[in-house]
Amino acid sequence: MKKEVLNWLKQAEYNLEKAEILFGSEAFDGAVFFYHQAVEKALKALFMIKFREIPPDHSIIYLAKKLRVPEELFSG
């Protein structure tokens, strides 16, 4: 499981780097996509650490609620 968690975190970091490059180029639609991917993958890694299983859902809201992330951090 440790290898999978590290892989999710590596992917999240890679997606974050892509998002920042796109944002700097004012390609905002692409930046938003990769920011979303980075958050989702980081939350999946945390989910796997906490629950010792692969998350059954791709929803950031689902993952954040299961991980008890304070709602003000993910609600608009």
**pLDDT tens sequence across 13-67:** 999 999 999 999 999 999 999 999 999 999 999 999 999 998 888 899 999 999 9
Across 3-7, 8-12, 42-46, 56-60, least confident range: 56-60
The pLDDT of residue 33: 98
CA 67 → CA 1, 4, 59, 72, distances in Å? Answer: 18, 18, 12, 14
What pLDDT sits at residue 71?
87
The yes-or-no verdict on residue 76 having pLDDT over 70 is: no
Cα 53 from Cα 48, distance rounded (Å) = 5
For residue 73, give every residue at least 6 positions away whose Cβ sits within 8 Å of its Cβ, in sequence order, or none. Answer: 64
Amino acid letter, residue 37: Q
| Dihedral, 10, 11, 13, 19 alpha carbons, nearest 10 | 170
pTM of the model: 0.90
> What domains, with CATH codes, occur in the chain?
2-73 (1.20.120.330)
